[in-house]
A and B are shown apart, each in its own frame.
Chain A
Amino acid sequence: MTKLRPRLSLFGIGAFALLLLGVAPLLLTDHWLGNLGKYCCWAMAAVGIGLAWGRGGMLVMGQGVFFALGAYSMAMHLTLETAGDGVPGFMVLYDPLAPLPAFWEPFRSAAFTLLAIVLLPVIVAGLLGYALFKRRVKGAYFAILTQALAVALATLISSTIRETGGDTGLSDFKYFFGFVLDDPANRKLVYLITAALLVVCLLVVRQLYRSRFGELLVATRDAEERVRFLGYDPANVKLVAFVGAALMASIGGAMFVPIVGIITPAEIGAAASILMIAGVAFGGRASLFGPALGAMAVGWGQSSLGSTWPDGWTYIIGALFIVVILFLPNGLSSVLARFTAARRSPGEQPAAATATLQLEEAKS
């Protein structure tokens, strides 16, 4: 189940790309295409979580931090683009004469913004990951630390109203790198960029999984000490996966802004970070498509079931956590895998499946 079949996975990505880039824009209304774009943003973060958690065994509960780095970089640029030469409207009240906060200034430049979206998460995750992994912080400690970071960042943003827009967030963007955002054609463009980026993320992750690094990452997850005895430094292996996950979350966050039109601290705090995990767990943490599809399914559930049955939706998402983790630790994709495997070699498969599972779970 952890082995990818090369041809099948490539074919899968191709089909997925065709659906997202070709079929969806033809079939969906503007509203649902926008929603699909939003799910794609979460899916990018989820693909990263699949890499770090599913393959690397690091339960990253604070991906909201990196989502925020990308989202707020993008949002600051779009806010400034909308405001023109002046100071953004929300800042005026608190101090009408004060200039733009210094850290906003570079985000006037489109090139700097794009660079920040890529480099900020790499730097932050690199430093954080280096410090944590070299100290061999892992398991529950790692999970709680990352979650605490997300909570701290969300609280910080909420309380710095003039600098970041506070709890209200940043919204009301008119332009996207020179394009008028209200124009349906441009919104389609933004959607296509997002969907294409998701496909790229999947391709990158597929290539990583098939490489020696991918093998090493799984080995680190399942038996970190043995990897160390073999002469590798597990910290470096984990660092690469963690930085990769951060980068994908950041790009997802950056695209979330033009698609949804608003970013707030609630999108990056504890609840949002956990919801990202929910999708990954639901789809299948260690599989290639599981995280992305799971995140999109959870997003869709929120939009549609959350509409028709709001009270019930909370129960459903709660029950989803319980049932999936309890009975399907490898998500829905494991059902599919078991089904296809059972068809090929009935009899020995169940034992093998349990074996891999236990190996995986033995680590914490």
Chain B
Amino acid sequence: MSTTSKRLRTLVATGAFATTVALVLAGCGARVGDDTGGGKSSARSCVDTSGSTVKLGFLNSLTGGMAISEKTVSNVLHMAADEINAAGGILGKKIQYVQEDGATDWPTFAEKTEKLLTQDCVGAIFGGWTSSSRKAVKPVVEKHNGLFFYPVQYEGLEASPNIYYTGATTNQQIIPAMDFLASKGVKKLFLAGSDYVFPRTANAIIKLYAAKLGIEIVGEEYVPLDKDDWTTQVAKIKAAKPDFIFNTINGSSNVGFIKAYYDAGLTAATTPIISVSIAEEEAPAMGHEVTGHYASWNYFQSLKTDTNQKFIDSWKAYPKSSGVTSDPMEAAYISLYLYKALVEAAGSFDVDAVNAAAKKNTITFAAPEGTVTLDGENHHISKPGNIGRINASNQFDIVWSSGTFIKPDPFLKGYDWFPANIRDQLVKAAG
């Protein structure tokens, strides 16, 4: 015993010494205040475009809870890549995509982003769904000066030189929905959402705008994302007697909400719901009980344009098809074509060249929702605001439209009801 403990002591001492030496040797990195420190200098891109292909990264949750929603987005990206390749590729180079699984785990999104950028050396990354996944990716793409294309509507109040947002920001989905409610003469509104960042932020904005519009918020309820039971909350909604419900629930929990709502005898005829996360993909899982309720999106499958018909036809013919098209799918489809347009305008896959091309504000794409224009300053795109009403075949009849394409305004600079002090702090916090 005594000899081994002596030996142990020697070993611990040696180990501690070796560790200290190693730490001292390594600890010569930059400290707070050293602006010259590493960081950016290590961010040299390793993208190889010398061959006949260009590598792109696709990143979505294919396993875990969010796979329910993200799988189709991932599949539509594959379709877009196949289409672009069939038409000759980007700058004559075929897309060779690397598919990664975010596994419904935000640190995994961060890890995979770094892998795609530094190990696979992809030109850009496409995907994500939840705001949390985007917020996990953001610092990594910024650090390595990569590109990330995010295809889902979100709560706004964000901008990054390394992220392009092809879904709606608040003033393209939430604000049109509120304008629609005001036009219907709604006086009492109830807010129901899942308990995470998008509904909380969206509702904070809704409350500010409702005050301006003279709409009273008669209640606000949140349920965890992974819980389906809404019965108690629906009882509260019923007791509050609102004219309309603003629904920011996401995922499977929506099914539970709609069922509990229907069970309680609340109908679309008396107290309709307007949703921002129920689209053509989600509605069928709720059967006929969701019929007659509304949703605010930019794209609907029922939009009558030639490009939309082409999009629907090619999706239906695609082997991994789910049969219907939806707004997030269309935004994902746009994202790949937008990247193609950006690269071709820049004449290069280089990130800084792409961003410089964006700055000219001339990038457009004839999307299924109409011709969208990229805003080079905030990296969002212009979109039409549409309100659809769910019909018996779980498709949407468009009942209201903003008419013109709405310019993206993620920080709500054009809206005087949004407090300037919040905006300033947010812009500062966003860097």
Tell whether any CB of A sits under 8 Å from a CB of B in the complex.
yes
Interface residues of A (CB under 8 A from B): 6-7, 10, 13-14, 17, 21-22, 25, 29-32, 34-35, 38, 86, 88-90, 92-94, 96-97, 155, 158-159, 161, 166-169, 171-172, 175, 178-180, 182-189, 192-193, 196, 199, 203, 207, 210, 260-264, 266-267, 271, 302-303, 306-307, 310-311, 313-314
Which residues of B are found within 8 Å of A158, using beta-carbon distances? 195-196, 224-225
Beta-carbon contact of A184 and B63 below 8 Å: no
Which residues of A are found within 8 Å of B107, using beta-carbon distances? 260-264, 266-267
| Secondary structure class of chain B's binding surface, majority of residues | helix
Q: Does B140 contact A (CB under 8 A)?
A: yes
Assembly CA distance A192 to B114 (angstroms): 20
Sample of 11 further A-B pairs with CB below 8 A, known A21-B19, A186-B27: A31-B114, A97-B421, A159-B224, A166-B196, A167-B130, A171-B110, A172-B138, A180-B39, A182-B40, A186-B30, A302-B103
Q: Does B29 contact A (CB under 8 A)?
A: yes
Assembly CA distance A275 to B99 (angstroms): 23
Contact partner, B29, options A86, A184, A307, Cβ 8 Å:
A184
Q: Does B204 contact A (CB under 8 A)?
A: yes
Which residues of A are found within 8 Å of B8, using beta-carbon distances? 10, 203, 207
Beta-carbon contact of B111 and A38 below 8 Å: yes
Contact partner, B23, options A178, A187, A189, Cβ 8 Å:
A189
**Looking at B11, B111, B419, which has the most chain A CB atoms within 10 Å of its CB?**
B111
26 contacts between A and B (CB under 8 A): A14-B11, A31-B114, A34-B111, A88-B429, A89-B428, A89-B429, A92-B425, A93-B204, A93-B426, A94-B204, A96-B422, A168-B196, A171-B135, A178-B32, A180-B31, A182-B143, A186-B30, A188-B26, A210-B4, A261-B139, A262-B107, A262-B136, A263-B107, A266-B106, A310-B99, A313-B63
Cβ-closest 10 pairs across A and B: A89-B429, A310-B101, A185-B29, A183-B38, A186-B29, A182-B39, A183-B29, A167-B196, A180-B30, A168-B132
Beta-carbon contact of A185 and B426 below 8 Å: no
Contact partner, A6, options B4, B105, B106, B118, Cβ 8 Å:
B4
- Which residue of the partner chain A has the closest CB to B227? A155
Which residues of A are found within 8 Å of B428, using beta-carbon distances? 89
Which residues of B are found within 8 Å of A311, using beta-carbon distances? 62-63
Contact partner, B118, options A22, A31, A86, A307, Cβ 8 Å:
A31
Beta-carbon contact of A189 and B26 below 8 Å: yes
| Secondary structure class of chain A's binding surface, majority of residues | helix
- Which residue of the partner chain B has the closest CB to A267? B107
Beta-carbon contact of B200 and A179 below 8 Å: no
Beta-carbon contact of A166 and B19 below 8 Å: no
Which residues of B are found within 8 Å of A189, using beta-carbon distances? 23, 26-27, 29
Beta-carbon contact of B38 and A180 below 8 Å: yes
Assembly CA distance A311 to B62 (angstroms): 7
Beta-carbon contact of A171 and B136 below 8 Å: yes
Q: Does B293 contact A (CB under 8 A)?
A: no
Q: Does B119 contact A (CB under 8 A)?
A: yes
Beta-carbon contact of A96 and B421 below 8 Å: yes
Assembly CA distance A161 to B34 (angstroms): 33
Which residues of B are found within 8 Å of A167, using beta-carbon distances? 130, 132, 195-197, 225
Assembly CA distance A159 to B226 (angstroms): 12
Which residues of A are found within 8 Å of B114, using beta-carbon distances? 31, 34
Assembly CA distance A171 to B429 (angstroms): 13
Which residues of A are found within 8 Å of B118, using beta-carbon distances? 29-31
**Looking at A92, A188, A203, A310, which has the most chain B CB atoms within 10 Å of its CB?**
A310
- Nearest CB of chain B from residue A194's CB, rounded to whole Å: 11
Assembly CA distance A144 to B293 (angstroms): 41
Assembly CA distance A193 to B132 (angstroms): 29
Assembly CA distance A93 to B31 (angstroms): 30
Within 8 A of A (CB), among B134-183: 135-136, 138-140, 143, 157
Assembly CA distance A25 to B26 (angstroms): 10
Which residues of B are found within 8 Å of A210, using beta-carbon distances? 4
